[in-house]
A and B are shown apart, each in its own frame.
Chain A
Amino acid sequence: MNNPPKRLGHAWQVLRRPSAKYSLLSLLVIGFFSGIFFWGGFHTALEATNTLEFCTACHEMRDTVFQEYKQTIHYSNRTGVRAICSDCHVPKDWTHKMIRKARASLEVWGKITGAIDTKEKFEAKRMTLATHEWERMKASDSRECRNCHSYDGMSGEFQKQTVFVKHQKADAEGQTCIDCHKGIAHKLPREYRDSNE
């Protein structure tokens, strides 16, 4: 009777048996509100992992890329609009967000094994890590950049002429933001070479 597989089988049978005690309406109402509660809780927890505080809770990010990002226009600027880590590194739409979060579980493994737990280890891996992110952005046509930026929204009146012409050319040639704008919020890896050098 105390055999765990037997108890498990019994519990499974109870779950499968139609309820003789509760009405279908009660079950539906309880199920509906439990679903909302679960879904809300799940998303609240998920959004908690999208905050700047969460991302910089570990020294791996706080002492390296976060310090670099603080020197850039995406952190501090004239208008006070700030793009935090998740704005650039986590998709907004649900499907791509879930895929990104699932992949981020590998980063937890990296944390446990201490893959980048010193500045030296981080620098040794910077090119690999940056390349992964550049490839992800290229594959999505710089989707996260485009949450705020668009070719259509660029005005020749406010952009320098040279920059505006470059953007128009890039648009016509189907280039995407990350093709040119690498290392805008973090230091470029030392192995990186610009194509025009």
Chain B
Amino acid sequence: MSAHRNRLFAALSISIAAAGLSAGAYAVDEEAARALARQNGCFKCHSVEKTLDGPAYKSVAAKYRGKADAEARLITHITTGEKAKFPDGHVEEHKIIKTKDMNEIKNLVSWILSL
């Protein structure tokens, strides 16, 4: 009887955790992410679908899918001006996003990774 209760408790915990993760995925504010990208001119070099001077956001999402450090890598990429390689082979500093609000930055990164 006690083992049955434990199994029930474990199942319930997993369900709650899954619901939490799912809620996390829904927590991405796409409109806010797009607005931040527009304001910072990200779409001058990136598109959701097409490769421009920078890779399509869908390619970025595919590249980092399943990688534990995906969020941290992208945050570093858009906040530190690290070197980025362009299609013609030249290398230059990536633009630094003009906000210090980490919640806004994380929302943008989460949106890109969700594509």
Contacts and interface: CB of A to CB of B under 8 A. Distances in A.
Partners in one complex: yes
Interface of A: 71, 160-162, 166, 180, 183, 187-188, 190, 192-197
Interface string B71-98: 0000000000000001000101100001
Interface of B: 31, 34-35, 38-39, 43-48, 50, 52-53, 86, 90, 92-93, 98
Contact of B43 (A71, A190, A196): A196
Contacts of B45: 162
Contacts of B35: 188, 190
A188 B38 contact: yes
B86 A194 contact: no
A197 B92 contact: no
Given A188-B38, A192-B38, A197 B43 contact: yes
Nearest to A71: B98
Contacts, number: 37
B38 A161 contact: no
A143 B90 CA distance: 33
Contacts of B52: 196
A180 B44 contact: yes
Contact of B92 (A71, A161, A183, A192): A161
A196 B53 CA distance: 12
B47 A183 contact: no
A188 B40 CA distance: 10
B38 A194 contact: yes
